[in-house]
């Protein structure tokens, strides 16, 4: 999957996903981030990672970019399915009214 996602778009996605602008190690594990990757990215050794630390770490950037792309693909598939369902309903309605 492509990880060529604008940093600001990715930051917004991360905030939406994690519910804030700081990522704790406990939450990181929830998103499948390995403990050693978390520690590597935690440059200032706080109890959390800030958005800039996430974005500047290539492994975490790639992981969240993949999550973003997956979510985007799922949203598109859902929208396509809903559109198809609406079109089928219109055809059915048209066929029933023409009878």
Instruction: Provide DSSP, 72-92.
Output: HHHHHHHHHHHHHHHHHHHHH
**Nearest Cα to Cα of residue 5 among 91, 68, 58:** 68
57: which DSSP letter?
S
Q: What is the pLDDT of residue 99?
A: 57
3-state secondary structure of 22: strand
pTM here? Answer: 0.75
More confident residue, 92 or 73: 73
Check residue 1 and give its pLDDT.
46
pLDDT, one tens digit per residue, over 14-57 is: 999 999 999 999 999 999 999 999 999 998 888 999 999 999 99
């Amino acid at each position: 999957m492509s990880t060529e996602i604008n940093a600001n778009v990715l930051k917004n996605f991360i905030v939406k996903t994690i519910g804030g602008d700081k990522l704790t190690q406990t939450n990181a594990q929830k998103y499948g981030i390995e403990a050693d990757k978390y520690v590597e990215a935690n440059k200032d050794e706080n109890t959390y990672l800030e958005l800039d630390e996430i974005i500047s770490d290539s492994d975490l950037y790639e992981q969240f970019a993949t999550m973003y792309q997956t979510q985007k693909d799922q949203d598109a598939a859902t929208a396509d399915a809903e559109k198809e369902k609406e079109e089928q309903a219109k055809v059915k309605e048209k066929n029933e009214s023409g009878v």
